[in-house]
Amino acid sequence: MAEEKNYKNPKKFALNMTAAQFTKFYILHLLHKRPTMIAEEFKSEFRNISRNWQPAPSTLLNALHEMSDDLGYLTKRKEIRGKRQVIYNYSVTKAGEDAFILMKKQYKILFDEQKQTIDKILKEVYS
């Protein structure tokens, strides 16, 4: 069965990208800026790019879990702070680096299309 393009799904982000896909993409980007991060640092970075949208906590944690345990894009190192607090430090694997290169190429088209749409609306409506 051919994969359908679903441009009308309101749960899509940046036209045909789900919030989960964008979350994974941006996690890989962030880990190229900093070699290791914990979940709270990812949350903070997402707040920095948009005050209006952030991945739900479950979306972020599911993405981190899937990228480390299922896809092999990340490694996670367990750290115990204090008596009971468990923290996971995430870093990118070679598979994650390869996936990020591919995602950058695929998603650039979507971002450019979204930018063109927004620029057109801004010009038509606000000029």
In this structure, are residues 31 and 74 in contact, taking their beta carbons and an 8 Å threshold? yes
Q: Is residue 1 part of a domain?
A: no
Q: Is residue 107 part of a domain?
A: yes
Q: Is residue 8 part of a domain?
A: no
Greatest mean pLDDT among 42-56, 66-80, 113-127 lies in: 66-80
What is the distance between the alpha carbons of residues 27 and 92, in angstroms, rounded to a whole number?
A: 9
Q: Is residue 71 part of a domain?
A: yes
- Which residue(s) pair with 75 in the sheet? 91
Q: Is residue 6 part of a domain?
A: no
CATH of the domain at 71: 1.10.10.10
Q: Is residue 2 part of a domain?
A: no
Please give the residue range of the domain that contains residue 70. Answer: 13-126
Domains in the chain, number: 1
In this structure, are residues 19 and 26 in contact, taking their beta carbons and an 8 Å threshold? no
In this structure, are residues 78 and 71 in contact, taking their beta carbons and an 8 Å threshold? no
Query: What pLDDT was estimated at residue 4?
Result: 42
Question: 45-63 in b/e burial notation, b at 16+ Cβ within 10 A?
Answer: bbeeeeeeebbeeebbeeb
Q: Is residue 119 part of a domain?
A: yes
Whole-model pTM: value is: 0.83
The answer on pLDDT for 61 being more than 70 is yes
Please, what sign has the CA dihedral across residues 92, 93, 98, 99? Answer: negative
Q: Region 57-69: what's the mean pLDDT? A: 97
Q: Is residue 5 part of a domain?
A: no
The answer on pLDDT for 123 being more than 60 is yes
In this structure, are residues 75 and 90 in contact, taking their beta carbons and an 8 Å threshold? yes
